[in-house]
Amino acid sequence: MKIWAVSNQKGGVGKTTTVVTFGGILASRGYRTLLIDLDPHGSLTSYFRMNPDRIDFSVYNLFQDAMARKKPLPEPYIVSTGFEGLWVLPASTAIATVERQGGAGGMGLVIANSLAAVRAQYDFVVIDSPPMLGVLMVNALAACEHLFIPVLSEFLGLKGLERMLHTLDMIGKSRKAPLNYTIVPTLFDRRTRVSVQTLRIMRERYGDRVWDAVIPVDTQVREASDAGIPLSHFMPRSRAAMAYTELLDHRLSQDRSRSAESAFATA
Ligand code: ADP
Ligand code: MG
């Protein structure tokens, strides 16, 4: 089971879109995929037509279990999205309280620990995270093997990226393994100078940490979201869906070459 997270301390950068689109592509390839909503706004949850204000069982239950010193087991809270091979562990707005109580400590590994119990059930887990640093984001960063950081192709996007990388520096120290990440330029509009300029600056500053292509602005993204269908299923040949497919394949091939290297090293 591979665990990825999508995170950035800025909202509106394409985090949820990335999670849903990855989920759709992976599921359509036959991978059993679980999406986890760790954002109190519950946008991922709403995408699949569930109301985060109303649901009784959600990722919040895992935190409650952990606080009650019970072993957090995700299975009872996971629901089907209605798309084959794609499940979601939804958020209820109640998880905002985790952020407030979380300071009590020991809550940073709830998701990481609970996922151990579903290793055999899923091939991929993709975690959506809130746009602010707190216990929920820490849970996403602690649980994942690879992080995607969507960044808006505009000046404020660069500022947000700086902040996010600073956070990673802080959190990285408490992780056993270093956290690998890919910076993903999103909502890229090649007709605008600001998109082109920010991309150039991003590449100058962060080199090959930046994915070598971009996710273009594409009206199909909003259409898919309005229809409650992952973009990969709604319009697989759309520009954004193709870009996401390329990003995902890039990641999978990097993973394969890394595991080949480590097999070689231990042989
Ligand atoms: P976040 O989760 O970071 O807040 P979202 O994924 O919800 O960001 O995206 C914010 C808004 O931008 C949504 O309305 C979404 O439909 C839209 N959006 C995201 N990616 C694209 C894209 N590539 N092209 C056009 N609109 C997009
Ligand atoms: Mg979101």
8 C-alpha to ligand 1 centroid (Å): 13
Q: Which domain holds residue 6?
A: 2-150+218-246
Q: Is residue 175 part of a domain?
A: no
Q: Is residue 157 part of a domain?
A: no
In this prediction, residue 207 carries a pLDDT of 96
- Predicted ipTM > 0.90: yes
Ligand 1 contact, 231 CB (< 6 A): no
In this prediction, residue 103 carries a pLDDT of 59
In this prediction, residue 267 carries a pLDDT of 65
pTM, entire model = 0.96
Ligand 1 contact, 88 CB (< 6 A): no
Q: Is residue 176 part of a domain?
A: no
Q: Is residue 96 part of a domain?
A: yes
pLDDT in tens, the chain (267 residues): 999 999 999 999 999 999 999 999 999 999 999 999 999 999 999 999 999 999 989 999 999 999 999 999 999 999 999 999 999 999 999 999 988 876 567 799 999 999 999 999 999 999 999 999 999 999 999 999 999 999 999 999 999 999 999 999 888 777 777 899 999 999 999 999 999 999 999 999 999 999 999 999 999 999 999 999 999 999 999 999 999 999 999 999 998 887 787 777 776
260 C-alpha to ligand 1 centroid (Å): 35
In this prediction, residue 258 carries a pLDDT of 79
Atom 5 of ligand 1, residue of closest alpha carbon: 14
Q: Is residue 182 part of a domain?
A: no
Q: Is residue 85 part of a domain?
A: yes
Query: Residue 231 belongs to a domain with what CATH number?
Result: 3.40.50.300
State how many domains the chain has: 1
In this prediction, residue 102 carries a pLDDT of 63
Kindly report the three-state secondary structure assignment for every residue of the chain: CEEEEECCCCCCCCHHHHHHHHHHHHHHCCCCEEEEECCCCCHHHHHCCCCCCCCCCCHHHHHHHHHCCCCCCCHHHCEECCCCCEEEECCCHHHHHHHHHHHHCCCCCHHHHHHHHHCCCCCEEEEECCCCCCHHHHHHHHHCCEEEEEEECCHHHHHHHHHHHHHHHHHHCCCCCCCEEEEEEECECCCCHHHHHHHHHHHHHHHHHECCCCCECCHHHHHHHHHCCCHHHHCCCCHHHHHHHHHHHHHHHHHHHHHHHHHHHHC
Q: Is residue 256 part of a domain?
A: no
